[in-house]
Amino acid sequence: MSLTYRSLSPRPEKRSLRGPSLACALRGLAALLLGGSALAQSLVNGGVVRGTIAAPGERHTYTFDAQRYDRFELRVVDVDGSSFSPQLELYSPGGALLETSVSPDVAVLDTREVDIGGQVRPGTYTVVVSGAGGARHEPGTYDLYFVQAPEAIAAEELLDGLTIFGEIERGELDTYTFTALAGQMITGTITDLPGGSLRMRTERFGPNRGYSEGIGGNLHTFTTTVSPGGIAVLVVSDGSSTATGTGRYSILLHGVAAAPPYPPSVFHRSETQADPFLFDNAGHAGLGPRIGDPAEPFNVSLDCSGAGTPGVYALSLSTGQQSALTTPWGWLYLDGTLLLQKTGAHAQSIETWFPAPAGFSLPNDLTLVGRSYTVQGACGGFSGSFRLSGAITQTIGQ
């Protein structure tokens, strides 16, 4: 596993607010200097904007405001994989061209920090998207990803002890936030899951500092004592030279301020990265079933696509869970009484278990609240044998 670490400069000073008139004036100046639309478009911090270059020489202009110690990064993706080559230009608040990125697939402007001593200074920045080189006259649809920390608005908040699953598409920046109190010790684990081409890259931005937690490898971890408290941002992306890698990952934090509404599921890893993978597809992929929830229980998927040949599969549910027991087929976690099982044939495919097997109703008995069980799968076709997946232990909530 190869990890790259870097620490960005501290943020000891308080942030100051600028008047809106200055921002508007700078936007207008950028539009005059750079051409394109007379009114610059807005970026989505922590999200994506889709646009289409429809005419030869067309340029799309976007702006964003940045203050000292902010960090930001951008990526432009050729959505259709066509002959359109995205070009991304970054202009300073004064109108100077700071950087140009061109790619046949994904144009990347890596993380920059705003300071007063260099070229990247506080103010209103302008971003221009266009076609590059011989593809300048080719039309194309693009996605523009933008993250600015610590103000990024994420699609999902990370909760204490709750495992979150995500997937990186080509060129994507996935953004998450979590709340930390001053003096809290936070530990985090970000895992690259099997079955993709992702070269996982993770970054963490706190209220006053930013870090790269790792590039490459299948496991990134961190431990930090928070000072001061506030909202932190975690960004996951592909760190390959082309930024085109794709794949799934999981995130698990301990010590954050926000707790889940009922006990989170516990995910137990398989013996090797090549083993079948077990996913929770339920109403909330990080929590066990709730009494009476029609999306529950046992809504899981077993990924047998890594098998060398078609074969048979099994999904089993037991009353107990044990530490990883070494077997010729991988690590076994099932223990206690076997309650339910589903078997069938797979064609190197993903097999689902939902709804519950015949004769087993949804959990509607309040006396079941707090009861736990463990699910694990097995796939045939791995060098003529079976391989066990990881397992999930869930607790029924109300």
Q: Which two tokens stand for residue 280?
A: 């929770």
Q: Of 131, 149, 167, which residue is a domain's last?
A: 149
Interatomic CA distance for residues 165 and 75, integer angstroms: 22
Pair 142, 35 in one domain = yes
pLDDT: which is higher, 15 or 261: 261
Contact call for residues 174 and 237 (beta carbons, < 8 A): yes
Residue 322 sits in a domain of what CATH number?
Answer: 2.60.40
Pair 309, 216 in one domain = no
Interatomic CA distance for residues 189 and 250, integer angstroms: 8
Pair 207, 191 in one domain = yes
Pair 37, 156 in one domain = no
Residue at 108 is within a domain = yes
pLDDT for 30? 40
Q: Is it the case that residue 61 has pLDDT exceeding 80?
A: yes
Pair 41, 118 in one domain = yes
Q: Is it the case that residue 215 has pLDDT exceeding 50?
A: yes
pLDDT for 120? 83
Interatomic CA distance for residues 175 and 74, integer angstroms: 12
pLDDT for 137? 66
Helix H or strand E segment including 23: helix 20-34
Unique residue bearing structure tokens 């359109």 = 84
Contact call for residues 288 and 265 (beta carbons, < 8 A): yes
* DSSP codes, 90-138: EE-TTS-EEEEEE-SSEEEEEEEE--SSSSS-SEEEEEEEEE-GGGTTS
User: Which residue, 109, 118, 196, 186, is CA-closest to 148?
Assistant: 109
Q: Containing domain of residue 194, as a range?
A: 152-254
Q: How many domains does the chain have?
A: 3
Average pLDDT, the chain: 84
pLDDT for 39? 56
27 phi, psi to nearest 5 deg: -60, -45
pLDDT for 82? 81
Interatomic CA distance for residues 177 and 147, integer angstroms: 12
- Average confidence (pLDDT) over 127-141: 81
Amino acid at 136: R
Residue 87 sits in a domain of what CATH number?
Answer: 2.60.120.380
Beta bridge partners of 335: 320
With vertex at residue 147, the alpha carbon angle to CA 26 and CA 130, rounded to the nearest 5 degrees, is 60
User: Which residue, 162, 156, 160, is CA-closest to 177?
Assistant: 156
pLDDT for 142? 95
For the segment 64-86, what is each residue's pLDDT rounded down to a tens digit? 999 888 899 999 999 988 889 99
